[in-house]
Structure 1
Amino acid sequence: MTLPAPLSGVVPPVCTPLTPEREVDTASLVRLVDHLVAGGVDGLFVLGSTSEVAYLTDRQRALVLDTVVRHVAGQVPVLAGAIDMTTPRVLDHVRALTKAGADAAVVTAPFYTRTHPAEVMGHFRSVAQGSGAPLIAYDLPSSVHTKLTAGAVLELAADGVLAGLKDSSGDEAGFREVVVGKRALTGPFAALTGSELTADSALAMGADGVVPGLGNVDPAGYARLYRACRAGDWPRARTEQERLCALFGMVRAGDPARMGPSSSALGAFKAALHLRGVITCPATAAPQIPLSPEETKTVAEHLTAAGLL
């Protein structure tokens, strides 16, 4: 497996289109990949949170990865989540995705079990040693209940364990510490933000790229934002970021009295892709609750306001 050195640009976490029976809709997945590549993205991240990886069976995970790798055929790098609770299970996933042709594995800290920082460090070292795959650390404390400190990330990067970080922690100061610290590294390391709302700020502080779930809906918008930042055109970047912030309001379409925030956000992304004609069905995986027709209308209003419908 190979990665650009370092990985950079827009790398959206790809939604997993499902049929009404909650099976993977490979035809819609192929159309979504084409939509993203045509929008100017620089890589694809499958089997992450926005991909509903936690809801997919191993068979479905394998089908998603195989479909995307085969269809992309090397046009852009494909990162794949190896998201599981403990080191042996993660290693199994990483070996499988390596065999399937992914360019890097995205790995969280172990979860469910209560871990010590030394065990978290050992987890990443063991996965790297046991697989040989380029590893991107996924800092997602809201889901795994462990925060990856900047010091830990930089130590693992300096030791050649990590090829990058996807930061979804919301800790902008900690992320900045990684961005500053990586300048002293001798090997390539990608600092990627998972924030849809502060991508321009992250790029201004020196991030290599962005991994926005909303990038499924408007990949071209994030590609324009990235290019504006790289060109130092901060007024244009700010205007694009503010348009995307308004569009992101769709994630609150779902009624919090009857569904969780994940159902609302993922339901909104899929409803938007359905309304834009990219995927056939907006279904989310069980036990998530689908958006109502009225809530879907709210998503359509956001798309219209953003010039996408």
Structure 2
Amino acid sequence: MDDKITNDPKQRRDFMKKMVLGTAASLMPVYGLQAWNEMKESMGEKSFVPVMLTPYNKDKSVDYKGLESLTDHYLAAGARGLFANCLSSEMYDLSPEERLKVTETVVRRVNGRFPVVATGSFGKDAYEKATFSKKLADTGVDAVILITSHFAAPEDLDETMIRNLEAYLNQTHSLSLGTYECPSPYKRVLSLEVLDFLLGTGRLVYHKDTTEDIEHIRKKLRLSDGSDLGLYNAHIGSAVASLRTGGAGLSPIAGNYYPEVIAWVCQHAEDPDKKAEVDWLQDKLTDMESKITANYQLSSRYYLNKSGLNLELTSRRANASLTREEQEQIDQAHREVQEWKERLGV
């Protein structure tokens, strides 16, 4: 390979795309999340992409009507994409059939207005992961998300992870993919080496970052500059910094309490006329995070119900009911957020 190509990240990625997918890959049409990322970049837009809850009935069966209402609520609040079948969705507590139906319900409700992504890397080996991913792709999602810790054990080196990813990639052809540094089964931060490998396939269009490390985020953004990748930060403490340094948007759990506020941050983070207000709000969001997230699965539903939804305070993941003290904490948080919204004109 020419030295000039190997030293230029974008040229190296173009070369790798042809090597991994064949020369036909460079002729593939731009579609789905890739096209969306390019459109947003050209318009200078940042997007709030909620990590969706899964509503349940009292018997803990999935409430699909509630899921449709929740989808509408996110979109009305300013979400410009949705992450279904994620950890907040209690994906490990859903059956394979429920994972597909939950995702399909969201895709159908969104009806092409904005991208939908969902986790697909379930299974004990590459074949099972690929098989489920292809079923998930058939629901119409714009990208299939891979949990980073699904492809290597905690003690495994990056070389092992790359080999496992290669086995999966060889069985999923041209599916658009994303990555998610999910805390379960353990949090595996996407290294620059593995990121560079995935960028080289030309298939990586989404990354949900949970490092809580703005310097590592900046390194990922520099490495992926000029690619189709959009980075979405899950850490509220570095939310504004990540948007101002090139992040595509935000996907924090705070979006399951006050989504309209997170959407406002995405819209105005880089607006010089709003800098003072954005910086003020960043401090407020950081301080509020620890107050709202106790008993997360139930407290988020309780908060959303105060915003007009009618979700059962039920979860397959929650170990205890919402206490009176937790309810009072959310009541106070809700009152304070209304003051934020009044100040910001949300």
Give the alignment's TM-score, normalised by structure 1.
Answer: 0.87
> Alignment identity in percent?
22
User: Aligned pair in 2 of structure 1 residues 235, 127: CA closer, same or farther (>3 Å)?
Assistant: farther
1:16·1:51 contact (CA, 8 Å) conserved in 2?
Answer: yes
How big is the shift at 1:252? Answer: 4.5
Report the equivalent of 1:296: 327
5 Å matches for 1:109-258? Answer: 109=148, 110=150, 113=153, 115-131=156-172, 132-140=174-182, 143-183=185-225, 185=226, 187-232=227-272, 233-253=274-294
Matched, 1:2 2:32: yes
How far apart are residue 281 of structure 1 and its match? Answer: 0.5
Moved more, 132-141 or 93-102: 132-141
Which segment is superposed worse, 270-279 or 39-48?
Answer: 270-279
Equivalents in 2 of 1:295, 1:287: separation in Å?
14
Q: 1:48 aligns with which of 83, 86, 104?
A: 86
**Corresponding residue of 1:60:** 98
Moved beyond 4 Å, runs of 4+: 111-114
Matched, 1:89 2:128: yes
The amino acid of 1:16's aligned partner reads T
Asked whether 1:100 is paired with 2:139, we answer yes
Distance 1:49 1:296, change over 3 A: same
User: Residue 149 of structure 1 contacts residue 174 of structure 1 at CA under 8 Å; is this kept in 2?
Assistant: no
The DSSP-based 3-state class of the residue aligned with 1:5 is: helix
Deviation at 1:125, TM superposition (A): 3.2
Name the structure 1 match of 2:22: none
Residue 287 of structure 1: CA displacement? Answer: 5.9
Which residue identity is paired with 1:104? A
Q: CA deviation at 1:111?
A: 5.9
Partner of 1:32: 70
| Cα distance in 1 between the residues matched to 2:47 and 2:223 | 20
* Aligned counterpart, 2:52: 14
Normalising by structure 2, report the TM-score. 0.78
1:286 deviation in Å? 4.2
Question: Which of residues 112, 130, 133 in structure 2 aligns to 1:74?
Answer: 112
Question: Shift of residue 234 of structure 1?
Answer: 2.1
Cα shift at 1:100 = 0.8
CA separation in 1, counterparts of 2:250 and 2:164?
25
Q: Is the 8 A contact 1:29 1:279 kept in 2?
A: no
- Between 56-65 and 244-253, report the one with greater CA deviation: 244-253
Three-state SS of the structure 1 residue aligned to 2:168 is helix
SS in 1 for 2:61: coil
CA pair 250-296 structure 1, distance change in 2 beyond 3 A: same
**CA–CA separation in structure 1 for the residues paired with 2:324 and 2:126:** 42
| d(CA) in 2 for partners of 1:64, 1:293 | 31
Q: For the pair shown, which has the larger CA radius of gyration, 1 or 2? A: 2
Query: Alpha carbons of 1:54 and 1:182: their partners in 2 closer, same or farther (altered >3 Å)?
Result: same
- Return closer, same or farther for 1:290/1:111 CA change in 2, 3 Å cut-off: farther
Contact 1:228 1:236 (C-alpha < 8 Å) held by counterparts: no
Write out per-residue CA displacement over residues 65-101 of structure 1, whole angstroms, 9 at most, x where no aligned residue.
1211111101110011124354233212211111111
Work out the number of aligned pairs and report it: 297
Structure 1: segments with no counterpart, 5+ residues = 254-263
